[in-house]
Amino acid sequence: MVMGDLVIEVDVAVVGGGPGGYTAAFRCADLGLETVVVDAGTRLGGACLWEGCIPSKALLHVAAVLGEAERAKEFGVDFGAPRVSLDPLRKWKSERVVGKLARGLASVAKGKGVEVVGGTAVFEDSRSLRVEGDAPQKIRFKHAIVATGSLPAPLPGVSLTSERVMDSTAALELPDVPERLLVIGGGYIGLELGQAYAALGSKVTLVEMLDGLLPGLDHDLVQPLARRCEKLFVKIRLGTKVTSLREEGALIEARFSDGDTVVFERVLVAVGRRPVSAGLGLETTRVRPDARGVIAVDDRCRTADPAIYAVGDVTGEPMLAHRAMRQGVVAAEAIAGRPAAFDNIAVPAVVFTDPEVAWCGLTEPEAARAGRKVKVAKFQWAASGRAATLGRADGLTKLLADPDTGRVLGVGIVGPGAGELIAEGTLAVETAITIEDLAATIHTHPTLSETLMEAAETLLRGT
């Protein structure tokens, strides 16, 4: 690394230190490539660690504890009304959870010899970029990996700027527990953060412009979650848009497409995320993002420019941290000349609500759209011993298999712990296991994992 005149020369420059970027950088270093990460925040972790996966799951853990305490009344245990102190809660989330993981990432980077440069990276051509910030410098690279992630999408047609109108980043700061919270968007963030705020005591109204929560996902998986949300939220308005937001003193007045107006202390906008590729100087390279800002990549994460790779949210859907990480490994290995490819069949997805919803591989609506014949098994958790001991008969495990070969094509699970249980389904789909293998595999009793085996047995028996 040459640093004399503030020009760094490296094998690989990674732009963005989120899960895609840091995973790529660590793998590059393991493969003997001299690697630098440029991050606008001068830190590793990206949206996932600082304003996404981790803080949201910390808040959802608190929500789950509150939910369990409430449910305990069913079997005669009453803890009384919970008292939530926001300062210790924020401190625990930011310091004990996020801070600890951040220190861990920084020390791994140090151990591997990966330098983290703070500043905004802008490409000057296909071999160099400049870093704008407190200590401007230039980086010459043999290869670059763009891992600039995504940012919250604004609410179309509504221009109000107010600290009471939050995106997910602001909501995760937990400024207070508003008495009434309007959540706009019934996708991942709206449902996760809506439930977290509801558990803490907010009266939550959720608006979703399409006709169901988690639109497009298998209805069987969404239904138990929708039922729970109906209890937790004061109102769910489907097929509805917010047409205007107006500040009314310390309140926000929302007007809906059905003509209603309602006031709220705070609003959370969660209508999707957009890739970050503008302002990166990509016009000086051969990379051309599409109209939405997505950078197209092939199965080795190569862009249209032979020196530039891209990974993570900037490459489009699904915008999930574990996909970004897998792409990071693939890009690093491809640069090192190894035969790696992002040829995964199953990218699992989990909505960490109560109940959790998880799926991988083919879903029933996708099979229907593709006109693909599948065998489907649904195992209701009402028949699971473990679910009964947990007081959670509301779950469902669903299997999709190829009618000719018996190969497991897709798995969907809704219920507590679905996010952990889906790992077995993902392995089954990825390794082309058959329903016979799944049914013949001994699963510990009594566990929720048995529901996968039971679903497979249902298919074998043809019942």
Q: Catalytic residue numbers?
A: 445
Candidates 5-13, 38-46, 406-414, 452-460; binding stretch for ligand FAD (CB under 6 A): 38-46
293 binds ligand FAD (CB under 6 A): no
SS3 call for 204 = strand
269 binds ligand FAD (CB under 6 A): no
Query: Which residues of this chain interact with ligand NAD, rule CB under 6 A?
Result: 155-156, 184-190, 192, 207-210, 215, 241-242, 270-273, 318-320, 350-352
Q: How far is CA 40 from CA 20, 47, 149, in A?
A: 15, 12, 12
190 binds, among ligand NAD, ligand FAD, none (CB under 5 to 8 A by kind): ligand NAD
241 binds, among ligand NAD, ligand FAD, none (CB under 5 to 8 A by kind): ligand NAD
Task: Supply the minimum distance, in Å, between the C-beta of residue 276 and ligand FAD.
Answer: 5
Task: Supply the minimum distance, in Å, between the C-beta of residue 350 and ligand FAD.
Answer: 7
Of 14, 35, 52, 390, the one binding ligand FAD (CB under 6 A) is 52
40 binds ligand FAD (CB under 6 A): yes
Distance CA 279, CA 123 (A): 9
Distance CA 137, CA 130 (A): 6
Task: Supply the minimum distance, in Å, between the C-beta of residue 362 and ligand NAD.
Answer: 19
> Do residues 71 and 391 touch, judged by C-beta distance below 8 A?
yes
Task: Supply the minimum distance, in Å, between the C-beta of residue 453 and ligand FAD.
Answer: 27
> Do residues 153 and 270 touch, judged by C-beta distance below 8 A?
no
289 binds ligand FAD (CB under 6 A): no
In 19-133 the beta strands, taken as DSSP E runs, fall at 35-39, 115-118, 120-125, 128-132
CA-based Rg of the chain, rounded to a whole angstrom? 24
222 binds ligand FAD (CB under 6 A): no
Q: Give the HSE-up count for residue 313: Cα atoms under 13 Å, Cβ half-sphere.
A: 22
Task: Supply the minimum distance, in Å, between the C-beta of residue 280 and ligand FAD.
Answer: 5
Task: Supply the minimum distance, in Å, between the C-beta of residue 131 and ligand FAD.
Answer: 8
- At which residue do the structure tokens 């919270």 appear? 181
47 binds, among ligand FAD, ligand NAD, none (CB under 5 to 8 A by kind): ligand FAD
Q: Kindly write out the interface string for residues 335-374 of this chain, putting x where it contacts ligand FAD by CB under 6 A and - elsewhere.
A: -----------------x----------------------
User: Which token pair is 313?
Assistant: 């949210």
316 binds ligand FAD (CB under 6 A): no
Distance CA 188, CA 194 (A): 10
Of 187, 194, 289, 312, the one binding ligand FAD (CB under 6 A) is 312
Cα dihedral sign, 385-387-393-399: negative
Distance CA 245, CA 238 (A): 18
> Do residues 151 and 276 touch, judged by C-beta distance below 8 A?
yes
Phi, psi (rounded to 5 degrees) for 184 = -105, 110
Q: Which is nearer to ligand FAD, 29 or 459 (CB)?
A: 29
Nearest alpha carbon to residue 437 among 423, 425, 422, 419: 425
SS3 call for 193 = helix
Question: Under the rule (CB under 6 A), what is the footprint of ligand FAD?
Answer: 15-21, 38-41, 46-48, 52-53, 56-57, 120-121, 147-150, 168, 189, 276, 280, 312-313, 319-322, 324, 352
